[in-house]
Amino acid sequence: MERIIKKLTETYGPSGREDRIREVIKEEVSKLADEIRTDYLGNLIVLKKGTASEQTKPVMLAAHMDEIGIMITHIDKEGFLRITNVGGLTPARLIGARFVLPSGQKGVVFHEPLKELKELDLEKMYLDIGAENQEEAKKHVTIGDIAVADEPMVSLGNRLIAKAMDDRIGCVVLIEALKKIKNNPNDIYFVFTTQEEVGIRGAKTSAFGLNPGLGIAVDVTMTGDTPEAKKMDVKLGGGAAIKVKDSSLITSPIVKDKMVEIAEKEKIKYQLEVLSRGGTDAGAINLTREGILAGCISIPCRYVHSPAEMVDKGDVEAAVKLLVKMIEEKIDF
Partner 1 sequence: MLIKELTELPGIAGREGQVRSFLKEKLALEKLKLSVDAMGNMYARHEAKNTPLVMLASHMDEVGFMVMGYESSGLLKFAPVGGIDLRVVVGKKVYIGEEKTLGIVGAKPIHLQKKNERNKPFSRQELFIDIGASSEEEAKNKTKIGDQITFATRTEFISDRVMKGKAFDDRAGCTAILEILKSKPPVNVCGAFTVQEEVGLRGAGVAASNVKPDLAIVLEGTTASDVPESPEHRYSTTMGEGPAITLMDRSFLANQNLNKRVIELAEKEGIRYQLRRSNIGGTDAGRIHLVEEGIPTIGLSLPCRYIHSPVSLLNMDDWQGMVDLVTTILKDIAEGGFPLGKNY
- The residues in 89-128 that bind partner 1, with binding defined as CB under 8 A, are 123
Cis peptide before 167 (omega within 30 of 0): yes
Q: Are 219 and 166 in contact (CB under 8 A)?
A: yes
CB 223 within 8 A of CB 232: yes
Q: Are 306 and 232 in contact (CB under 8 A)?
A: no
Site track for partner 1 across 224-263, x = CB under 8 A: ----------------------------------------
Residue number with CB closer to partner 1 (209 or 279): 209
Indicate whether 71 belongs to the interface with partner 1 (CB under 8 A).
yes
The overall longest dimension of the chain from CA atoms, in Å, is 69
The whole-angstrom separation of Cα 16 and Cα 87 is 11
> Per CB under 8 A, which of residues 9..28 are in contact with partner 1?
15-17, 19
- Please state the φ and ψ torsions of residue 179, each to the nearest 5 degrees: -70, -40
Residue 196 appears among annotated catalytic residues: yes
111 vs 103: CA distance, rounded Å: 23
Quick check: 198 binds partner 1 (CB under 8 A)? yes
Verify binding: residue 205, partner 1, rule CB under 8 A: yes
Instruction: Supply the minimum distance, in Å, between the C-beta of residue 217 and partner 1.
Output: 17
Does residue 46 bind partner 1 (CB under 8 A)?
no
Q: Of the two residues 18 and 315, which places its CB atom closer to partner 1 in the complex?
A: 18
Is residue 199 at the binding interface for partner 1, with CB under 8 A as the rule? Answer: yes
Q: Which is nearer to partner 1, 127 or 304 (CB)?
A: 127
DSSP code string of 73-134: EEE-TTS-EEEEEES---GGGGTT-EEE-TTS-EEEEEE---SSGGG--GGGEEEE---SSH
Residues near partner 1 (CB under 8 A) are 15-17, 19, 38-42, 71, 73-74, 76, 82, 84-86, 123, 143-144, 195, 198-199, 201, 204-206, 208-209
Catalytic positions: 196
